[in-house]
Each structure stands twice: as structure tokens, then as C-alpha cells.
Chains A and B, each alone.
Chain A
């Protein structure tokens, strides 16, 4: 089945550091990838839709300059949390849809646990 790899799985860093998270579709091409944030005991909140070769589409309330998204190829999207602060600590999950059209389900990575000290 379709596999999405997310790296790193866990990051602990100091306040003010920028952190990059990678999301790769391993065995399929994904024109669109999605970045979610999951708060404790809460559902997933869509942050942005990452489009290959174009700018990401951010959801309302998500800071574009804070969460930089780059989708440079059909198999890779990156999320960079710039100048991270403790309130950015969360579980970030990416997903990807196969570029075959129609109603394909999203396939999720294993998530990245970000902890800002």
C-alpha cells in the first residue's frame, strides 16, 4: 500500500530554533500533501495544503511566516517551524494523496512530536 514517511519522529530543541520536518511519499506521486497539527486529546487541525510547484494554501489563523511549507517535488514536502516557541510544541502529521485523480484517501505519516524548551 501507499506509504508516507515523515522525519524526524521526535524533536526537542531550544526556543528560537527553526525546525524542519520532511514528508515523503515513498511509492507514489503526490501533487498535494497536507500538514496537520494535533493538540492533546483533540482532533487533527488542518494547517495547510501543500501543492507541488506552487505556494501552499494556509487555513485561516495559521501564520504563513511561522510555518513555511515547500513542496519541491512530487514526493517531498517540508514544513519549517521558524523561531519555534514553547506554544509551538505539538504533534505534527503530514498526509498525501496519490496523483491519480478521483477520490483517493489520504495516507498519513507517523507524525513528528515537537517539543520546544
Chain B
């Protein structure tokens, strides 16, 4: 987890409210990713970034948006949270290219009631 922090670590929110999760890295890595982890589905890629202001969709991007205005920060926003977005969210970073080894943050447990 060194060099990558996620905030908040835990959050409970109500259906319909906006939620922003933050990933912060101190490694100056170019690539950043957001995954969600759910029982029976493993890790699924939501969005990723390959540079400042450069982002792209992953496997399960519906209902999520991202922004990267600085190398060190990658924000994941749920515009209107739904119960199906209850999950553990992981941020990861990678130095060289999208498929090189990735380093993961500690995760954010989000519960939407």
C-alpha cells in the first residue's frame, strides 16, 4: 500500500446522493485505475487514466465518472449512488504501461443504503 492512499476508507451513503472517492499517489506513476471488488465477480475495471486529463472506460463504467487533473490524484465519482454500487473500491497505479504490474491502494468500502 506504500505510496497510494485512498479516502475515505469507509463510507455509508444514501441512494441518490453523489459520492466522490479519492486516490492519491506519491510514486509519480503515469497510469491509474479504479476497480470494484464484489463476491463472485473478482475485480472489475471501472475506469483508468493514462495521463493527466486522459481517461478511458473499463468493463463496468456505467454510473461512474472520473477525473485526473494532477498526476497524483485520480477521483472516482458516483453521480447518483445506487445500492448496486455497494462494493469495495480499489485504486491501483502502474509505472510503464497499462498491463505492467499494478500496485494497489488499501481500498474503500462503500455502502449505499
Q: Is chain B found bound to chain A in the same assembly?
A: no
State the B residues within 8 Å of A (CB): none
State the A residues within 8 Å of B (CB): none
